Amino acid sequence: MSLLLDEIALATARLAEAGVPSPRTDAEEIAAFVHGVRRSELHLVKDSDFDALFWEGIARREAREPLQHITGRAYFRYLSLEVGPGVFIPRPETEVLAGWAIDRLREMDVATPTVVDLGTGSGAIALSIAQEVALARVHAVEVDPDAYAWAKRNIDELGQGRVTLHPEDLADCLPELEGMVDMVVSNPPYIPPDAVPRDPEVRDYDPPIALYGTGADGLDQVRAVERTARRLLRPGGFVAVEHADDQGPAVYLIFEEENGWRDVRNHQDLSRRDRFVTARFGQE
């Protein structure tokens, strides 16, 4: 066994003792990042090339700093995104919402669908749609300056000229697109103010503005998404909005039929937990 693989085994034990949920994977990811190779190539690193910076990364992860802050990268569907302090790290659960939106857009009889991503964060959903839906024109909205800076980096690198970033509030953004949008997507802040996450990676590193919703139930931003989607969507357009796994019924009720919403549905993530609500606006 090589020196690096021996060190990875020791690091795995340290990370497991610290309560890191995926210690072996994280140790290998840090090793691959430090040595500039893929995880599948770790066995090729020569003993003489071992870099002690590996242990600096392990110490940071042992202190429960997110892996993505150490490597500077987060993976979302087919994207590799730049992330770091000041931006919400995209989650695998949100990939299901993005996949639903992509499937619906591909089914539409629209040559160049217009999409709005409210609260884009790193740009993960917006960029996935731009990458996977031919000719889609995506507008990404982000009011927080720190997150906006990360989104700009990713959109400049990966946006293919089809993602436009707007430094606006999701509650009153894009008046120029009223009644013209085919799809609105959003992963807004929705954690109730008094519900502090248990995971240190979330509690101590994700920006509070991206985590905590306002209102007693944390859903005021979801209500704002509903109002904005109602204003932006064309008749027959769709909205998809993420929520916590215990908020499905409450979010479902936000999309009221009397406000023009049809086909309101709860959707589950890969863990079979309620994760996002979709609805169609008005009639075709």
Domain coordinates of the chain in residue numbers? 3-63, 77-281
Q: Of 2-6, 84-88, 194-198, where does the model show the most confidence?
A: 84-88
Query: Which residue carries 């248990």 as its tokens?
Result: 198
* 130 closest CA partner among 190, 180, 81: 81
Please check whether residue 172 is in contact with residue 230, taking contact to mean a CB–CB distance below 8 angstroms: no
Q: What does the pLDDT read at residue 184?
A: 98
Q: What does the pLDDT read at residue 284?
A: 52
Each residue of 256-278: pLDDT tens digit?
Answer: 999 999 999 999 988 899 999 99
Tell me the CA distances in angstroms from 63 to 58, 162, 225, 233, one per residue in order: 9, 39, 36, 45
User: According to CATH, what is the number of the domain 77-281?
Assistant: 3.40.50.150
Mean pLDDT of 47-69: 93
pLDDT band at 283 (very low <50, low <70, confident <90, very high): low
Between β-strands 233-242 and 261-268, what pairing exists: parallel, antiparallel or unpaired?
unpaired
Q: What is the pTM of this model?
A: 0.92
Q: What does the alpha-carbon distance between residue 154 and residue 150 come to, in Å, rounded to a whole number?
A: 6
Q: Is 249 annotated as a binding residue?
A: no
Q: Is 57 annotated as a binding residue?
A: no
Q: Is 142 annotated as a binding residue?
A: yes
Q: Is 80 annotated as a binding residue?
A: no
Q: Is 122 annotated as a binding residue?
A: yes
Each residue of 152-182: pLDDT tens digit?
Answer: 999 999 988 899 999 999 999 999 999 999 9
Q: Is 123 annotated as a binding residue?
A: yes
DSSP state of 212: B
Q: Answer whether residue 1 shows pLDDT above 90.
A: no
Q: Answer whether residue 84 shows pLDDT above 80.
A: yes
Looking at residue 164, its amino acid is: T
Average pLDDT score, the chain = 94
Q: Is 187 annotated as a binding residue?
A: yes
Q: Is 120 annotated as a binding residue?
A: yes
The secondary element (H helix, E strand) that includes residue 5 is: helix 3-17
Q: Is 189 annotated as a binding residue?
A: yes
Q: What does the alpha-carbon distance between residue 218 and residue 279 come to, in Å, rounded to a whole number?
A: 20
Each residue of 181-198: pLDDT tens digit?
Answer: 999 999 999 999 888 888
Q: Answer whether residue 225 shows pLDDT above 60.
A: yes
